[in-house]
Amino acid sequence: MRPLDRLLLILDRTMVLFIGLAVGAVVTLSFFGGGEPGSRAQASIPAVPATAATIPNAINRRATDPMSSRMAMAVAQGRPIEIGVFGDSFGDGVWAGLYNTLRTRDGFVVHQLAERSTGFTRYRSLNLLDDIRAKLDRHPVDIAVVSFGANDTQGIFDQGHGNAYMSEGWQRIVTERVSAVVQLLRDRGVMVYWVGLPKMRDEHFDTDIHAMNQFYAARMAALDVPYFETLPQTVDANGQYQPYLPVDPRNGGERQMARTNDGIHMTIPGYVYVMRGLSDRIRSSVAQARAQSNTSAPAAGHAATQGEQGVGTQS
């Protein structure tokens, strides 16, 4: 074989090797990636089954909610309503939004109980059921506001088997884990609200998150849990990602920066803006319960507890 032919053969085999390695890397990322835009190959996402995704959730249309046993006890005792916010880094922002709208002086205490970089696909690093149980033991709450999903656009390896994102196996495993958390909260007499995720800037990541929101809306409907959407508040008139939103109703609708540079999270005013509706619903529900029991809100001055450090806001 001539030297030139030998060189071409070596180069050809080397190229095949590199292509094989690249394909293997893409396959690996497509299964284990997630939580960041573009972090996994964007294969088509299996749709949430229509029989689940289209379950009507009439509870979402209510302006007020009936009291859970712990909430009824808090109203009867005249003590502040304890609210625990569970979730990932977006849930951390949900806490900031609620903390700045449900004030202690109005009879609410909002606890930050979220953990960043967590999710229902990441039980190898943190079992959320065990974590939430331990937090409830330390900080009993009357209302739980839950928001997970931004880190969960990835597959789950369970019992020696890989389950791709939104596959039948993935939905079964996450449904079991989510249902166990909701049941734990209800067993403690806690009222549960679930907060969905907003519009994402990255088109592919947004496709994944849209499927995530459909999945959780269906699961909450099946569990009879109020599902609070944030997506409609984070888009423009054409349904597109909008980083500037009318976060403060006092400034005549002027838009301010509501999304952070990563295109995923929100600024503090942005979180306050999207949480205003849920805050109003919680406030109305508690006010109705207090009126029915002839109980007024606790006097101001209830000491802030751990997890209530001040959070800047423009609201």
- The answer on pLDDT for 27 being more than 80 is no
Share of the chain above pLDDT 70, in %: 77
Domain 55-292 has CATH 3.40.50.1110: yes
First-to-final CA distance of the chain: 78
Section 180-205 average pLDDT: 98
At residue 204, the pLDDT reads: 97
**Residue 103 pLDDT greater than 80, yes or no:** yes
Give the pLDDT confidence of 288-311 residue by residue, as tens digits.
999 988 888 887 654 444 444 445
Mean pLDDT of 78-99: 97
At residue 253, the pLDDT reads 79
Has residue 238 got a pLDDT over 80?
yes
Residue 10 has pLDDT above 70, yes or no: no
- Note the pLDDT of residue 99: 97
Q: Is the pLDDT of residue 23 over 70?
A: no
Tell me the domain boundaries of the chain.
1-32, 55-292
Quick one: which of 235, 80, 230, 49 has its CA closest to 143? Answer: 80
Mean pLDDT of 87-99: 97
Summarised one tens digit per residue, pLDDT across range 59-68 is 888 888 988 9
